[in-house]
Amino acid sequence: MRKAILDTSFIITAAKNKIDFFKWLEEEGLEPVIPEQTISELEGLGAELPLKLIKMHKFKLAKVSGKNADTAIVNLTKKDKKAIVATLDAGLKKRIKNRKLVIRGGKKLEIT
C-alpha cells in the first residue's frame, strides 16, 4: 500500500475546512503516515481539533530522525520515493520530489 505522509499544515487546514481526508486516503488506497514531529507540532500549537481528529482514525506513527516535522518528512521521502506528501507548505514542497496531496478551493483534495 502506498503511503501518504501528513504534514502539520495539511492536517490543520483539512480539519478547519471539515475535509474527511482519512476517508479520501482510504478510498485512494493510501496509508496515512504521521511523523512524531508532526504530532509534537500540533500539540505545541494547541491544535485540539486536529489532534482529536487524528486520534479518532487509524494511521501509522513514523519514528524518524529530524529536529522538526519538515525535516522528518524529507527524511521519510528519501526512504520511500513513492510516498505522497500531504502538505500546503510551499517551502516543504520545494524540498521534496515526491508527489503532493494538496487542498484546492478549500474543499477538494488533489494529488499533483
pLDDT score of 50: 94
| pLDDT at 105 exceeding the cut of 90 | no
pLDDT score of 24: 95
Measuring CA to CA, which residue among 86, 89, 82, 73 is closest to residue 35? Answer: 73
| pLDDT at 106 exceeding the cut of 90 | no
pLDDT score of 19: 94
| Single pTM value for the model | 0.92
CATH number of the domain to which 36 belongs: 3.40.50.1010
C-alpha 93/C-alpha 1 separation (Å) is 23
Helix 36-45 vs helix 48-55: crossing angle, to nearest 10: 140
Range of the domain at 65: 2-111
What is the number of domains present in the chain? 1
Query: Model confidence over 19-77: pLDDT tens digits?
Result: 999 999 999 999 999 999 999 999 999 999 999 999 999 999 999 998 999 999 999 99
